[in-house]
Amino acid sequence: MLKNVLDKGFIEVIDKLGNDLTVVNSARVSFGKRKTKYDNGDRILVRFLAENRHYSPFRHIIVQFHVKAPEFVMRQWYKHVVGIETSSSYPSKDHAWNEISGRYVPVNDFYKPANWRKQSLNNKQASEGSVDDQLKAEELFDSTMNTMVDSYNKLLELGVAKEQARILLPLNQYTEVYWTASFQAVMNFIELRDDPHAQFEIREYALAMKDMMYELFPETTKIWLEVYETMKTLSEPGKTIK
C-alpha cells in the first residue's frame, strides 16, 4: 500500500502486525477468551477501551512504514519518540527509526512548494493563505536552489566527500526513513499532525497515514477517532463533560 505525498514524497506500508481482532483479543485474554469473527460486542469493547484510556491492547498492532519526506518534515516527525522499542533505559522509549544517509548516497530530490503561504498574523508559528507575488517567490526559490544544487554537484565532482558536500544543502532536501510504531503511537501522530496547528506539509503526511490506517484497521481506526473527536470537543472552553 503506497500513497504519494507532496511533489516527490510518499508513505508506503512495508509490513504490519495484527488486525481489528488483535485489540479485542488482547483485551479478552483477561477472561481467557479469543474470537475469530468481529461483531458489535467488539465495537462496544473497543470504544470502552479507548474512552477509558486502556491503551495497552492497541499497542499489539504494529505498522512499519517507509516514508519519503522533506528534511524539515522529518525533523518534526522525529519528535514522536514512542515506537516499539521497549528495552531502552532512557525515560522516553526510543522509536524504531532508520534513515537513508547522505554520507553514502548523493542527495537528488528537493521539495518545491506549489503555493507560497503568508505568515499568520495571530499564530507566530503558522501560515495562512497565499502571498500575492507567487511568481517573485518562485523566482527567488528557483535561483537559490539552482546555485546550491549546482555547487553541491561541483563539490562532489571535485572529489569532496558526500558527508561534507551535503552541509550546504537546504531543509527541503528529501530524505527517507523506515518508521515502525504501534497503533497507539501512530494515532497520536495523526491526532497531533492532522490538526490545524500543524504545518501544511506534515499534515499532508498525517492525512495519507490516516487513510492507510482506515484501510488496514477500519473498525479500530473509526472508533478511536470518534472517541478522540468527542474528547476534543468536550475539552473545548465552554463545554462540560457529563
Ligand X SMILES: Cc1cc2nc3c(=O)[nH]c(=O)nc-3n(C[C@H](O)[C@H](O)[C@H](O)COP(=O)(O)OP(=O)(O)OC[C@H]3O[C@@H](n4cnc5c(N)ncnc54)[C@H](O)[C@@H]3O)c2cc1C
Does residue 197 touch ligand X according to CB under 6 A? yes
Does residue 96 touch ligand X according to CB under 6 A? no
The bridge status of strand 2-5 relative to strand 118-119 is unpaired
54: three-class secondary structure by DSSP: coil
Does residue 198 touch ligand X according to CB under 6 A? yes
Active-site residue (options: 47, 53, 193, 203)? 193
For ligand X, give the closer residue by CB, 93 or 162: 93
Return the residues of window 158-187 that contact ligand X according to CB under 6 A: 185
Q: Is 193 a catalytic residue?
A: yes
Does residue 82 touch ligand X according to CB under 6 A? yes
Q: Whole-number minimum distance, CB 59 to ligand X, in Å? A: 11
Which secondary-structure segment (H or E) carries 64? strand 62-70
Q: Which stretch binds ligand X (CB under 6 A): 101-109, 192-200, 216-224, 229-237?
A: 192-200
* Residue from the set 127, 153, 188, 230 that interacts with ligand X by CB under 6 A: 188
How many whole angstroms from its chain centre is CA 203? Answer: 8
Does residue 81 touch ligand X according to CB under 6 A? yes
Q: Which stretch binds ligand X (CB under 6 A): 52-60, 108-116, 145-153, 190-198?
A: 190-198
Write each residue from 124 to 163 as x if it is in contact with ligand X (CB under 6 A), else as -, in one continuous string. ----------------------------------------
Q: Which residue has the cell 508559528?
A: 125
Strand segments (E) across 92-173 = 96-99, 118-119, 127-128
* Residue from the set 37, 79, 124, 242 that interacts with ligand X by CB under 6 A: 79
Q: Is 6 left (phi over 0), alpha (psi -120 to 50) or beta?
A: left
214 close to 222: Cβ distance less than 8 angstroms: yes
Q: Whole-number minimum distance, CB 94 to ligand X, in Å? A: 10
Residue 171: DSSP 8-state: T
Return the number of other C-beta atoms located less than 10 Å from residue 11's C-beta. 22
The strand pairing partners of 176, in sequence order, are 68
What number of CA atoms fall less than 13 Å from residue 213's CA on the CB side? Answer: 27
Does residue 53 touch ligand X according to CB under 6 A? no
16 close to 216: Cβ distance less than 8 angstroms: yes
For ligand X, give the closer residue by CB, 16 or 193: 193
User: Contact residues for ligand X (CB under 6 A)?
Assistant: 79-82, 91-92, 185, 188, 192, 197-198
Catalytic residue set: 193
